[in-house]
Every structure is written in C-alpha cells, then in structure tokens.
Amino acid sequence: MKKSLLVLTLIAVSFSLYAQKKQPLKKPAAAAKTAASKYGALAIDRSNGFYYGWSFDYPTLAEAEKKAAEECIAKGGNCTVVLSYSGAGCAAYRTVDGSQGTAYGWGLAKTKEEADAIAAKECLKRSGGVTPANFVWSCNSAGTGILKEIYNASDEIEAPVTVGTQTWSNRNLDVTAFRNGDPIPEAKNAAEWQEFCKNNKPAYCYKNFDPANGKKLGKLYNFHAVTDSRGLAPKGWHVPSKGEYETLIAFLGGKYEAGKKLRAKTGWDQADKNGFAYGNGSNSSGLNFLASGQAWENEYDGPNPPVSSVFKGNNSQGQWWSSTIDGSSRWNDNGGQYGYYNNGFTLYFGTNNYTGLGSEAPQRGFSVRLIRD
C-alpha cells in the first residue's frame, strides 16, 4: 500500500513539473512610456499689453515661441516673447481694462489658479492698485515632463510712476507701430533718416543706428511721428503737452531743482564734444531719464554724418518731445533745402542745472515719454 502511494505521488509530481514546463513564459510588463516634454510660450506687445498670443504642447521651444508671437502679431501688436516654459503646467496673463491705462503681468505654476495668483500680483505692481480684471490662461498637457521655466521677462517690465497728480512711464517709448497698427518707418542709417525727414515723413531710429541700444534707451522719433494722426502712444496714454511737462517740473521743485530728480544716477557725467557734462541725478522722482541721445537733422549733411551721437554746444545728451507745436520754424539749418516746418517743444536739461522746454526743428530725433490719460 505504501509502495502504491509512493508511485502515485511520483506520477503526480512528474505531471505537475511537465505541466509547468509546457506553460508559456509570461513577457515582462512593458515600462510605462514617458511623454516627450512639451513647450509653451506667451508673447505680448510690451508697450501696452493689450495684444497677446499663446502656444502650448509644442514639440520644440522654437515652434512654441514662433506660434505665440505670430498669434499676438495677428491681433495687431508689436510683439515679443515674455514667457517660455516646458513640462506640465500652466501660464496665466492678467491685464487691466483699457480705459484704466496700461498694466499687465503673467505667472507660471503647476495649476492655472496658482499661475493666476502670480499674474495678478505682477499686474498690481504696475496698475497703481487697479484690479486686473482681464484673465486668460494656457496649459501644457499632463505627463509632458517636469515644469521648467525657460525665460521670464517680468524683471524687464518697468512700472509707471505717479508724481503728484500725474502718472508717467519711467522708460522711453519703444514702439514700431502707430496705435492703429500701421508701421512706423525705421531709418537704419543717416541717408535714410535724411530721406524721411526732408520729405516730412514720420520715422524712428536707434541711438547710433544700433538696435542694441533700443532695449535700454528706446527709440528716437522725429516730430512728424509724434504729431501723426494715427497716434504714437498706445491706448490709455499720450505724449505729454508742454503744459504737462511744466506741471511736472513745478511739482519737483522748479526749473533749478527738477533736473537732479529727473536724471538717472548714471550716464550724465559723460562730457559732450565741448567738454560739458550735466552731472548724474538722484532719480528721486523715479522717472529715470537716461542720456539717450539725439538725432540732428543737419548733421547728416556732412561727409561722415554722426547722427544720434554728436551733441552740439550746450545741448543736453537727451531730449524728450512734447506734443505741443511751436508754429513755423524759427530757423532753417539747411538753407531752405527742406522748407519750413512746425517746430515742437522738448524737455531739455541746460547749464546750471536748468530744466526747461525749448523749441526744436521737427526733423530732429528725440526720445518720447508718455503720460497716462
């Protein structure tokens, strides 16, 4: 009996082993695929914030940035990328209502709610406490990598400054299109500047015709651009009148005190060709007027025209157009070649720390500041 049981047991074990050998081997489970990282971007018109464009879930950074810029430009803006990122997350954008001026901000976070909180906080820095009511957002899909900020231009955007009852931009104007979207022609060299100005056409140039100067100093515009009916300033802003500049000067202590408070802390200690320097300011006003150059209409008549770089006599190393016309030209540096145009008043710094408004020929190129409507 014991022998029979042993035989049956061996047969059962053998059958079991045979069955195990016959069973097909299971393939190991495939590792979960990680989705390739995706890219998103935000582009805006930095001069006003009203035009914007988004992209998300693009396979490359270049494609994402291109798409965002194209979408913004299609709306009518002069647009550049201000935020780019990769991975799963959201970007949000906030602006104030156009009737309340120009202010905007953006944020990046894992959720749109967190991103919006950042965007609203950034906008409030520039809105003077006005709640940013306009809110838009965009997100890369989940599972597209770890969220990573690639570029964020928040630190490059400066806030308007309130002085007395006025609110001013604290950087020079840097637009390439009129308010209606029409482009403003760029003079890329002295000959082009001459051609635009002698034909009474609006134009801008960079200091020394070098676009690298634009980011810090903005652009130099002729008076034809300032007075063009299409509007040089973006919605909610305007080029200040002579009277508005005079109000600013008076609030800052008058014509012998305001200059120090307006001028930046650096750049004004460089002498002009006559060896004169106006001296750096305290910038206590917060308006940070920079020595941003000039373009003179008669200096391009020489064999090596030094437009935008030469400062004549005691003329300051930077002037700012007002919107106020001074009537017929009181001089004509070009012997009648270009005829007579309406002069415009500019803010300038003079000797003995004098700050005032003077009349300038419209063919000259100066910086532009804006004041809120």
pLDDT at 100: 61
**The two three-digit tokens of residue 326, written as one number:** 């001074």
DSSP letter string, 62-87: HHHHHHHHHHHHHTT---EEEEEEES
- pLDDT tens profile 186-245: 999 888 888 888 788 999 999 888 888 888 899 999 999 999 999 999 888 899 999 999
Q: Is residue 31 part of a domain?
A: no
Q: Which of the residue ranges 43-52, 135-144, 307-316 has the most confident prediction, judged by mean pLDDT?
A: 135-144
Q: Is residue 27 part of a domain?
A: no
Residue 221 in contact with residue 366, Cβ under 8 Å? yes
Do 130 and 277 reside in the same domain of the chain?
A: no
- Which residues form the domain of 51? 39-159
Question: Would you say residue 339 has pLDDT above 60?
Answer: no
Residue 352 burial by Cβ neighbours in a 10 Å radius (0-12, 13-18, 19+):
exposed
The C-alpha atoms of residue 68 and residue 185 are separated, in whole angstroms, by 25
Do 331 and 227 reside in the same domain of the chain?
A: yes
pLDDT at 213: 87
pLDDT at 88: 95
Separation of CA 126 from chain center: 13
Q: Is residue 21 part of a domain?
A: no
Q: Give every CB contact of residue 17 below 8 A, 6+ residues apart in sequence.
A: none
Do 180 and 136 reside in the same domain of the chain?
A: no
Residue 86 in contact with residue 145, Cβ under 8 Å? yes
248 or 296: which leads in pLDDT: 248
pLDDT at 203: 95
Q: Give every CB contact of residue 137 below 8 A, 6+ residues apart in sequence.
A: 90, 91, 92, 93, 112, 115, 116
Query: Coil, strand or helix: which one is 311?
Result: coil
Do 230 and 201 reside in the same domain of the chain?
A: yes
pLDDT at 99: 61
Do 262 and 192 reside in the same domain of the chain?
A: yes
Do 178 and 222 reside in the same domain of the chain?
A: yes
Query: Coil, strand or helix: which one is 158?
Result: coil
Stretch among 74-78, 129-133, 250-254 having the lowest mean pLDDT: 129-133
- pLDDT tens profile 44-54: 988 778 889 99
Stretch among 36-40, 45-49, 138-142, 253-257 having the lowest mean pLDDT: 45-49
**What are the distances in angstroms from CA 322 to CA 79, 346, 358, 367?**
26, 5, 10, 10
Rg of the Cα atoms in the chain: 32
Do 124 and 197 reside in the same domain of the chain?
A: no
Specify which residues 367 forms β-bridges with. Answer: 320
Q: Whole-structure pTM over 0.75, yes or no?
A: no
In this prediction, residue 92 has a pLDDT band, given cuts at 50, 70 and 90, of very high
Mean pLDDT of the chain: 81
- pLDDT tens profile 291-303: 998 887 544 444 4
Do 144 and 213 reside in the same domain of the chain?
A: no
> What is the number of structural domains in the chain?
2
Do 176 and 126 reside in the same domain of the chain?
A: no
Do 111 and 206 reside in the same domain of the chain?
A: no
With tokens 């760029």, the residue in question is 186
Do 177 and 119 reside in the same domain of the chain?
A: no
Closest by CA position to 332, among listed 300, 360, 304: 360
Residue 194 in contact with residue 300, Cβ under 8 Å? yes
Mean pLDDT across 344-363: 90
Q: Which alpha helices (DSSP H) does the chain contain, by range?
A: 2-22, 61-74, 112-127, 190-198, 214-217, 223-226, 242-251, 258-262
Do 223 and 317 reside in the same domain of the chain?
A: yes
The C-alpha atoms of residue 122 and residue 101 are separated, in whole angstroms, by 16
Closest by CA position to 221, among listed 365, 47, 369: 365
